[in-house]
């Protein structure tokens, strides 16, 4: 049985997978669980009516599960884990929120127009905390030897962080954070990630309207 999923289309390329980290998170889950799926590409700047009918908030990802369209990557990933428990991608609850503040800190720093507002330091603090978590726990992933849901959520966000901050701020993750860099590279080189990632130029294009607001 093939699962239907609506994800973001690339900016300026109507047939190409776009840059939504929440969509990629679900695609990673499907790939890691080896579930067959069919992608429907949605232009989120010009949403078709049929999409608004199934996703009243107008957000991707949306996935059809048991005949019902379900929105929100948290909800979708939770249902997929319950319905298709093997291989398990359950994150041990005590590790579920590791790294969860990185994305917000990244977006705040990216959109900041004031170099002295502390947003760079706040991001570095989050990245350092994550690096030191990795250093003091057995890895290479947050929950140990195998990737779990928390890694599949973090990987697309770290990918965006790396590309977008380099492009718009000429900024990169401090070289001293070797645990974080190795972690990101381990995830980025997985087959599931390579298959579901947006191209570099589409990640840059996807953030342009926010950065230039
Ligand atoms: N909390 C949601 C966030 C989804 C989300 O923000 N999706 C963005 C694309 S990355 C979207 O659909 N934006 C279009 C809009 O808000 O109109 C999730 O985890 O699925």
Is residue 88 included in any domain, yes or no? no
Is residue 174 included in any domain, yes or no? yes
Cα(125) to centroid(ligand 1), Å: 26
Q: Return d(Cα 54, Cα 110) in angstroms, integer.
A: 32
Q: Are residues 46 and 102 in the same domain?
A: no
Cα dist. 15→7, 39, 40, 93, 159 in Å?
A: 12, 11, 10, 38, 22
Q: Whose CA is nearest to atom 16 of ligand 1?
A: 59
Q: What b/e readout covers 124-144, taking b as 16+ CB neighbours within 10 angstroms?
A: eebbeebbebbeeeebbbbbe
Query: Which residues lie closer than 8 Å to 75 by C-beta, 6 or more apart?
Result: none
Q: Are residues 106 and 59 in the same domain?
A: no
Is residue 186 included in any domain, yes or no? yes
What is the CATH classification number for the domain harbouring 15? 3.40.30.10
Claim: this prediction has a pTM higher than 0.95 = yes
Q: Are residues 99 and 123 in the same domain?
A: yes
Domain enclosing residue 35, as ranges: 3-83
Cβ of 48 less than 6 Å from ligand 1 = no
What is the CATH classification number for the domain harbouring 119? 1.20.1050.10
Cβ of 209 less than 6 Å from ligand 1 = no
Give me the pLDDT at residue 1, please. 85
Q: Return d(Cα 122, Cα 130) in angstroms, integer.
A: 13
Q: Are residues 100 and 183 in the same domain?
A: yes
| Cα distance from N-terminal residue to C-terminal residue, the chain | 43
Helix, strand, or coil here: 43? coil
Task: Average pLDDT across each block of 10 residues of the chain; the chain has 213 residues. List them in order.
Answer: 96 95 98 98 95 94 97 98 98 96 98 96 98 96 97 98 98 97 97 98 96 86
Q: Are residues 111 and 196 in the same domain?
A: yes
Q: Are residues 112 and 189 in the same domain?
A: yes
Cβ of 74 less than 6 Å from ligand 1 = yes
What φ, ψ does residue 13 adopt, rounded to 5°? -140, 95
Q: Return d(Cα 131, Cα 102) in angstroms, integer.
A: 11
Cβ of 72 less than 6 Å from ligand 1 = yes
Q: Which ligand 1 atom lies nearest to the CA of residue 8?
A: 9
User: How large is the greatest C-alpha to C-alpha distance in the chain, in angstroms?
Assistant: 53
Q: Whose CA is nearest to atom 12 of ligand 1?
A: 59
Q: Are residues 103 and 195 in the same domain?
A: yes
State which of 10, 48, 60, 196 you would mutate to test the pocket of ligand 1, scoring each by most atoms of that ligand within 8 A of its C-beta: 60
Q: Return d(Cα 130, Cα 140) in angstroms, integer.
A: 13
State which of 22, 156, 209 you would mutate to test the pocket of ligand 1, scoring each by most atoms of that ligand within 8 A of its C-beta: 22
Q: Return d(Cα 105, Cα 30) in angstroms, integer.
A: 28
Give me the pLDDT at residue 56, please. 85
Q: Are residues 167 and 127 in the same domain?
A: yes
Mark residue 178 as left, alpha or beta (left: phi above 0; alpha: psi -120 to 50; beta: remaining): alpha
Number of domains comprising the chain = 2
Is residue 22 included in any domain, yes or no? yes
Active-site annotation holds for 6: no
Q: Are residues 103 and 202 in the same domain?
A: yes
Residue tagged active-site, from 20, 63, 76, 107 = 20
Cα(22) to centroid(ligand 1), Å: 7
Cβ of 61 less than 6 Å from ligand 1 = yes
Is residue 199 included in any domain, yes or no? yes
Cβ of 210 less than 6 Å from ligand 1 = no
Q: Which ligand 1 atom lies nearest to the CA of residue 72?
A: 20
Q: Are residues 71 and 154 in the same domain?
A: no
């Amino acid at each position: 049985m093939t699962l239907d999923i609506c994800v973001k289309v690339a900016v300026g390329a109507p047939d190409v997978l776009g840059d939504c980290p929440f969509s990629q998170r679900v695609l990673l889950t499907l790939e890691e669980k080896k579930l067959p799926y069919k992608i429907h590409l949605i232009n989120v700047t010009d949403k078709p009516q049929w999409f608004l009918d199934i996703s009243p908030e107008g957000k991707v990802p949306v996935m059809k599960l048991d005949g019902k369209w379900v929105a929100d990557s948290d909800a979708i990933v939770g249902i997929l884990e319950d319905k298709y428990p093997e291989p398990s991608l359950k994150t041990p609850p005590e590790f579920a929120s590791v790294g969860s503040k990185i994305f917000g800190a990244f977006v705040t720093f990216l959109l900041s127009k004031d170099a002295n507002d502390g947003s760079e330091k706040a991001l570095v603090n989050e990245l350092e905390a994550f690096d030191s978590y990795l250093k003091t726990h057995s890895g290479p992933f947050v929950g140990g030897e195998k990737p779990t849901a928390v890694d599949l959520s973090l990987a697309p966000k770290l990918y965006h962080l790396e590309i977008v901050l380099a492009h718009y701020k000429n900024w990169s993750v401090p070289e001293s954070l070797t645990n974080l860099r190795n972690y990101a590279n381990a995830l980025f080189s997985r087959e599931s990630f390579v298959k579901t990632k947006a191209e570099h130029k589409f990640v840059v294009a996807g953030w342009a309207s926010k950065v230039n607001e």
